[in-house]
Structure 1
């Protein structure tokens, strides 16, 4: 999926969202492949596909992903990971991911993936990380040759059910000077709490290496509590079910929100919520509040002052881009340019970057928004 020719207006305005600089914190490498790339890599690898037409394949992924179940949603990754088992496949997918993010206006992107899922064709864990980094570097160089500004970092994920957490944490730390900026645990959330990988998180803490943890997507408050206590998470992957710890009451024309201690801690510490609106609908993460985007607790969090960020999760499965996700939430909640910038500044502050780089990134975002809007008004 390429976004080079896409123009997504901010609802109610002439502002083209692709032209605004953006920060992407939650983007899965194996969830963002171009359909045509899957077809070509599958032919080389002997992987059977439901169709060899790129448009039909994109539609197939979207259909299978709209299941309302995280477990069913995750099954679509059997195909994408199957074509990412060689150095060449990993490099190509990583390079194209950077180009697609750059075309969408992303200036800092953190791309996460699970090396342990890419070993069936003989690569070692270190070789997979090196292959992905080579692809990311090539993508950045190519994007910059096209006049696009983008930097990226890898987030190495351990699969919650696989019991290789310590090994993957060691891998992440080993490559901290070769593009890896953070650690994550992913996969089936319910039944696989962060505490199962306490040794991995102990190592990361001792190494002063940052972690984000998928939590509050397919499981509730206990999962989030575990991510914070056992995982020492600096960010929550999705985190939408934190809304279960917020009590809303109405008295006359006034509405009041009472935060439980967990929600209060997340808010007061500035722990970022990596919401992914379309994905959260697809997996049923917000089912208890409704089945439309306007039911998403994202706006509740935002109005209460949480560090909310907007992300894509899996661009292929959701048929989306970051610009599209921002347009969707803007349409649902009546957001304007200032709100879109606020989400980007939240993401910049939460990025796994040195503080000086985060300050520079925030300045770039503000300048980019001002320049884009000035050009629009001049036109």
Structure 2
């Protein structure tokens, strides 16, 4: 599906995005311009259309590890304050143009130090870019950052402290990301315990490429407030499609406690976590009234947008506008934003828009 196939009424709907990676959403033309400016000569294509196609094709591998390799090129052109500020501003503007009214965009500060920046300078540049993008969009979008630590590295506590330091200046929370297999969230327990002591928010990538143990550790050992993806919670539901469907203890806990699932349908097809939009677990979990949300993950690698994800669910999974409204309110309820601010966006922006 191309952007031209999205119906105007879907594009016009207000949207809330909780799971979007800054380094996974660059404009291909921007990557090419920044590569030329910085002398980065390893791009596989130098035409914007061809480069965008390359990113999508390379990500369509069915492997999370191969999918993550595509980020080498986008991260390479995000190594100065000017580059980061531009990319963040364009991110906010692109989301606003897609009807997104609130977004939490995540990135790993530790991946942007090759040009000599300090961690603090990375965060301040991205924050400034988001504010630029908000202003350029006429105040139609609110963007907050999530600071991500890489699962295979040893900087999680340092990044967690950074998230707390800047939580009153545009940083909404913390996350860990990267290959799940062999890198369980409990490796970063010190960071999560620190965040809990500081009353700080965090989500954890879990249940995408790895199964129930990843989800269980993220929630019961680390205290995750939300799950990044969480698609494998389906492994704890038996008798699917029968009259004898039962939730296991973990699935029941996730539903009972309303733990939000940051689900990314198109991305899951690329990494092999789901086979099709029509059969993606998001629809079944929606029907079971789990707190599901719809997200983009990596707009560049998936060639997607929030409007496209919604249109796909309508066309291929039979979703209604009421379903889209429900998951949008779910997302806003689950945002790492003060309660009164969440409520204001729901009542003043989301509900009137539906």
- Give the 3-state SS of the residue equivalent to 2:239 in structure 1: strand
Match of 2:264 among 266, 276, 288: 276
- Give the 3-state SS of the residue equivalent to 1:107 in structure 2: strand
User: Structure 1-normalised TM-score?
Assistant: 0.90
Counterpart residue number, 2:74: 80
- Give the 3-state SS of the residue equivalent to 1:149 in structure 2: coil
Q: 1:231 deviation in Å?
A: 2.3
Mean alpha-carbon deviation: is it higher for 93-102 or for 229-238? Answer: 229-238
Counterpart residue number, 1:56: 50
Q: 1:255 deviation in Å?
A: 2.6
| Contact persistence 1:201–1:230 (CA under 8 A) | no
Q: 1:350 deviation in Å?
A: 0.5
Counterpart CA distance in 1 for 2:304 and 2:298 is: 8
**Matches of residues 100-115 of structure 1 in structure 2 within 5 Å?**
100-115=94-109
**Matches of residues 235-254 of structure 1 in structure 2 within 5 Å?**
235-248=226-239
| Contact persistence 1:246–1:259 (CA under 8 A) | yes
Counterpart residue number, 1:377: none
Structure 2 vs 1, CA of residues 304 and 125 (structure 1 numbering), >3 Å: closer, same or farther? same
Q: What are the superposed Cα offsets for residues 75-100 of structure 1, whole Å, 9 maximum, x if unpaired?
A: 00000000000001000000000000
Counterpart CA distance in 1 for 2:221 and 2:11 is: 38
> Does residue 265 of the first structure (1) align with residue 263 of the second (2)?
no
Counterpart residue number, 1:151: 142
Q: 1:109 deviation in Å?
A: 0.4
Q: What are the superposed Cα offsets for residues 161-188 of structure 1, whole Å, 9 maximum, x if unpaired?
A: 0011101101111111110001000001
> Does residue 218 of the first structure (1) align with residue 209 of the second (2)?
yes
Q: What are the superposed Cα offsets for residues 33-72 of structure 1, whole Å, 9 maximum, x if unpaired?
A: 0000000001111112111100000000000000000000
> Does residue 255 of the first structure (1) align with residue 243 of the second (2)?
yes
Counterpart CA distance in 1 for 2:72 and 2:91 is: 19
Match of 1:8 among 6, 9, 27: 6
Counterpart residue number, 1:141: 135
Counterpart residue number, 2:309: 325
Counterpart residue number, 2:294: 310
Counterpart CA distance in 1 for 2:337 and 2:291 is: 17
Mean alpha-carbon deviation: is it higher for 229-238 or for 201-210? Answer: 229-238
| Contact persistence 2:176–2:204 (CA under 8 A) | yes
Q: What are the superposed Cα offsets for residues 98-138 of structure 1, whole Å, 9 maximum, x if unpaired?
A: 00000000000000000000000000000000000010000
Question: Which ranges of 4 or more aligned residues in structure 1 deviate by more than 4 Å?
Answer: none
Counterpart CA distance in 1 for 2:57 and 2:278 is: 21
- Give the 3-state SS of the residue equivalent to 1:256 in structure 2: coil
Counterpart CA distance in 2 for 1:96 and 1:256 is: 49
Q: What is the RMSD of the two structures over their aligned residues, measured on CA atoms?
A: 1.2
Counterpart CA distance in 2 for 1:194 and 1:203 is: 14
Match of 2:328 among 325, 344, 354: 344
Counterpart residue number, 1:12: none
| Contact persistence 1:211–1:231 (CA under 8 A) | no
Q: 1:249 deviation in Å?
A: 5.2
Q: Which 5+ residue runs of structure 1 have no aligned equivalent?
A: 10-14, 370-379
